[in-house]
């Protein structure tokens, strides 16, 4: 995972973004300032009557669209932005200060994929559904995002047939389920338990839970998928070539 792609802020000067298309998985989404509309918020409008008004008092809400470079998909985005000032990107050749907008996206529709699930083999459909739901929460509420990932861990334990209910029908806690899972699959349980701890932190201290903490959860989950749901290295092309070489009993010329 390239964590830099999912930092909560970006701009069009120093921190440009390129995201994977959520629909075709092959194309790229490159936000362009011309495709976004910026509107000063009420606080900024009120500040403009102040004699001491400065550039760093300016805040915006923005909305717009980002187009895939390969398929017809258009992703709708909205969020907030502010004005920043820094040295020219051509410094030291050009020694001057420039102003630019720093954007903090809060909402994407469809949601931007943070983990490329197409890289993995036979991922349970209900697990993939939960993870895709978490993508939409990441930008606006990282604490809710990690709890959505935590819910996906419950689904994985169902997939591994880990007991879910007591004899009286009461649900067994995730911690207890992972403890049982550890008896048979200690390596898997250890990885998933780290996500549980992050989920607990997101629930108990949501205001201090950061985007970087949620990205830790995604990276740990991606590691789990790479380890236990790897896609066969032998793709369709190689399989076809193997069959052709075996049939020809030697090299196959195109």
Instruction: With CA atoms as reference, report the closest residue to 83 among 51, 52, 35, 41.
Output: 41
pLDDT of amino acid 236 = 62
What is the Cα–Cα distance from 216 to 204, expressed in whole angstroms?
17
Average pLDDT, the chain: 90
pLDDT of amino acid 199 = 92
What residues are paired with 76 via a beta bridge?
Answer: 65, 109
Please report, rounded to a whole number, the percentage of residues in the chain having pLDDT higher than 70: 96
Would you say residue 2 has pLDDT above 80? yes
Query: Strands 36-40 and 28-29: what pairing?
Result: unpaired
| Confidence label for 48 from pLDDT (cuts 50, 70 and 90) | confident
- Could you state, in order of their start, the residue ranges of all structural domains in the chain? 1-113, 117-254
Would you say residue 241 has pLDDT above 90? no
More confident residue, 23 or 57: 23
> Cα(first)–Cα(last) distance of the chain, in Å?
37
pLDDT of amino acid 129 = 94
Would you say residue 94 has pLDDT above 80? no
Summarised one tens digit per residue, pLDDT across range 96-139 is 778 899 999 999 999 999 999 988 988 999 999 999 999 999 99
Q: Which two tokens stand for residue 176?
A: 């207890």
- Compute the average pLDDT of residues 233-246: 72
- Compute the average pLDDT of residues 21-38: 94
Q: Which two tokens stand for residue 152?
A: 């996906």
- Compute the average pLDDT of residues 139-143: 97
Would you say residue 234 has pLDDT above 60? no
More confident residue, 158 or 92: 158
User: What is the pTM for the complete model shown?
Assistant: 0.84
* SS3 at position 198: helix
pLDDT of amino acid 59 = 92
| Confidence label for 10 from pLDDT (cuts 50, 70 and 90) | very high
- DSSP code, position 172: P
Assess contact for 81 and 38: CB atoms under 8 A.
yes
- DSSP code, position 168: T
| Confidence label for 17 from pLDDT (cuts 50, 70 and 90) | very high
Scan for tokens 């049939």, then name that residue. 247
């Amino acid at each position: 995972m390239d964590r830099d792609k999912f930092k909560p802020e970006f701009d069009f000067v120093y921190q440009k973004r390129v995201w994977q298309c959520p629909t075709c998985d092959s194309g790229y989404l490159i936000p362009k300032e011309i495709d976004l509309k910026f509107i000063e918020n009420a606080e900024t409008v009120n500040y403009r009557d102040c004699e001491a008004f400065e550039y760093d008092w300016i805040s915006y809400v923005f909305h717009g669209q980002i187009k895939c470079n390969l398929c017809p998909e258009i992703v709708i985005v909205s969020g907030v932005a502010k004005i920043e000032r820094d040295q020219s990107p051509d410094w030291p050749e050009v020694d001057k200060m420039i102003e630019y907008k720093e954007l903090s996206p809060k909402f994407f529709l469809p949601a931007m994929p943070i983990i490329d699930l197409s890289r993995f083999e036979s991922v349970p459909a209900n697990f993939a559904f939960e993870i895709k739901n978490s993508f939409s929460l990441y930008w606006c509420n990282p604490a809710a995002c990690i709890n959505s990932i935590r819910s996906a861990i419950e689904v994985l334990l169902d997939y591994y047939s880990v007991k879910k209910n007591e004899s009286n029908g009461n649900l067994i806690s995730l911690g207890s389920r992972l403890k049982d899972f550890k008896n048979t699959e200690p390596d898997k349980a250890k990885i998933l338990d780290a996500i549980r701890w992050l989920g607990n932190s997101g629930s108990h201290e949501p205001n201090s839970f950061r985007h970087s903490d949620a990205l830790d959860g995604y990276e740990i989950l991606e590691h789990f998928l790479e380890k236990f749901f790897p896609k066969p290295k032998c793709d369709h092309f190689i399989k076809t070539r193997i069959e052709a070489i075996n049939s020809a009993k030697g090299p196959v010329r195109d």
